Structure 1
């Protein structure tokens, strides 16, 4: 589905929507502990309240989405509110599943005498750097492909910034790598066919029926489709969540630059945990006054370095917003 229009109930038109970007695919990311899971959940519930069938997907290994929503979540969608579903994807479990699938394909194509050594090499690859990210991106592409037919909006609550950037940079790397594997597989298949013909043996199965080649081509095509979605500003937006402190701002500046290099559109910057506006003329505690002054300096930097995108503010709350009702009351506003 992933359409720009959803079925809107009569009350949705009268509801003031939160100022998050409205795209078929939204990513929420940021440094750990800045509130990105809370913002992703609030955005998903807001989209659902507007009438869109919405799926919230957590790819964060910390799996705090279930805690924030106060819901039992697994790796398949569970309904958490009207028109809103959520799920948590475990990167390690996805890596195990992917390796098992690779072994199944190999078993149908490799000589039995070589299977033991091939399996050993595959198991080594399972624990190599980037294996979990590769498997997670494979699941991510399947979610876009399969769940995109069912939902109008998909909101991803991602891992902390560094892991997310590695994940989103995979399409370029993996498409090139898989393309090389396809060329080598076709060459090996053609040589095997030639030797069979020379020896007068039965013809080998046509390359079109090669299970490994078919799996590689299918994965390449899915990665290309995912890349097109990620790079389309009409369909995708990345929302960075940060708090007004030096390190989160610095990390967000680097991440925005990295996404720009990879052609992934940024939709908004959310500044969380801001001190509420003080009452004019009322005395203020010296500690709060100092914090407010430092916060003003950080906001000036955000405006200077990240002001090319919409900057949204979320004031510090007197309690953690936990549960669907509390998440639906989070005040998000545009910075003046």
Structure 2
């Protein structure tokens, strides 16, 4: 799961990881919960073993509404059905629908690699709140000693879920990434690594201005290494946008 604030390159990084896994012959499902993400445009092609999807809040909400009306609403009279339809127009309906889609995709991780480009931090934390609330409700209702597995438990399992926090080597993005990490830890989710994207310090530059920016980045990268992330990667700023299968593969494996 790629997490982080908007504009740090989560979609590109998630696509590069998915392409690299698929190129190894592994089954991969690349998906996004970010309404603004454009996975297909970033990939700009198709690849064997790679499936692409997105969680569309509007489509998921409509699917959920229809399911409820066809099940719970099937036996209601006109007045009861009208009340149910009014209830389904609540903002909570979208939260439930998106959570259910999120849960379905997480369950797929038992049979294939799932690479998720998440929505910007605030939206993702709301989704995790819903995931946590569902977990607590299941735990409350289950009998002592009963076996159960919730999406939150899967996210907390470091053997199954690897959370990658994407950031830039700048003061504000690093601070926001650190706050996100603290929020995740409070939810029992330990990030696996950080990715410092679009780094000028990792790029050969001659301009005095860019050299100064590269020098400033080194301070932030050092802070990440010493204070926040025992495991991290630095992705250089590229001359060309990493769009398309070939460039994404090169981004994941520069030596290939």
Q: What is the TM-score when the length of structure 2 is the normalising length?
A: 0.87
Look up the match of 1:65: 39
- TM-superposed deviation, 1:228: 2.2
Structure 1: segments with no counterpart, 5+ residues: 1-26, 72-79, 183-220
Deviation per CA, 1:67-94, whole angstroms, max 9, x where unpaired? 10115xxxxxxxx212222112211211
CA distances 1:120-139 after superposition (whole Å, capped 9, x unpaired): 2222x1xx2x5433311201
Contact kept in structure 2, 1:34 and 1:272, CA below 8 Å? yes
| Alpha-carbon distance in 1 for matches of 2:203, 2:245 | 29
Q: Identify the residue that residue 144 of structure 2 maps to in structure 1.
A: none
Q: Say whether residues 1:168 and 2:128 are aligned partners.
A: yes
Answer whether contact 1:314 1:332 (CA < 8 A) is retained.
Answer: no
Aligned to 1:136: 98
TM-superposition CA deviations, 1:39-70 (whole Å, max 9, x none)? 10111111122231111011110131111011
Q: Whole-Å Cα distance in 2 between the matches of residues 85 and 324 of structure 1?
A: 13
Secondary structure class of the residue paired with 2:150: helix
Say if 1:253 and 1:305, in contact at 8 Å, map to a contact too: no
The 3 A distance-change label for structure 1 pair 42 and 277 is closer
Distance of 1:325 and 1:284 partners within structure 2: 27
Instruction: Summarize the alignment of residues 67-86 of structure 1 with structure 2, pairs less than 5 Å apart.
Output: 67-71=41-45, 80-86=46-52
Report the Cα distance in structure 1 between the residues aligned to 2:167 and 2:112, rounded to whole angstroms. 27
The number of residues matched between the two structures is 250
CA distance in 1, matches of 2:47, 2:31: 14
* Alpha-carbon contact 2:201-2:214 (below 8 Å) kept: no
Quickly say closer, same or farther: Cα 1:278–1:328, change in 2 above 3 A. closer
Give the SS at the match of 2:192. Answer: strand
Change over 3 Å in CA distance of 1:53–1:289 after alignment to 2: same
User: Which one of the candidate residues 45, 59, 81 is aligned to 1:115?
Assistant: 81
Residue 271 (str. 1) matches residue 245 (str. 2): no
Match of 2:157 in 1: 232
Distance change (3 Å), C-alpha of 1:84 and 1:118: closer
Q: Offset of 1:179 from its aligned partner?
A: 8.1
What SS class does the counterpart of residue 266 from structure 1 fall into? Answer: coil
What is the distance in 2 between the residues matched to 1:136 and 1:229? 17
8 Å contact kept, 2:202–2:237: no
Tell me the CA shift for residue 291 of structure 1.
0.7
In the TM superposition, what are the counterparts of 1:1-336 in structure 2 within 5 Å? 27-71=1-45, 80-123=46-89, 125=90, 128=91, 130-145=92-107, 147-148=108-109, 151-176=111-136, 224-277=149-202, 284-308=206-230, 310-330=231-251
Distance 1:332 1:261, change over 3 A: farther
Structure 1 SS opposite 2:197: strand
- Alpha-carbon distance in structure 1 between the residues aligned to 2:65 and 2:138: 16
- TM-score scaled by structure 1? 0.67
Conserved? CA contact 1:236–1:265, under 8 Å: no
- 1:305 CA displacement: 2.5
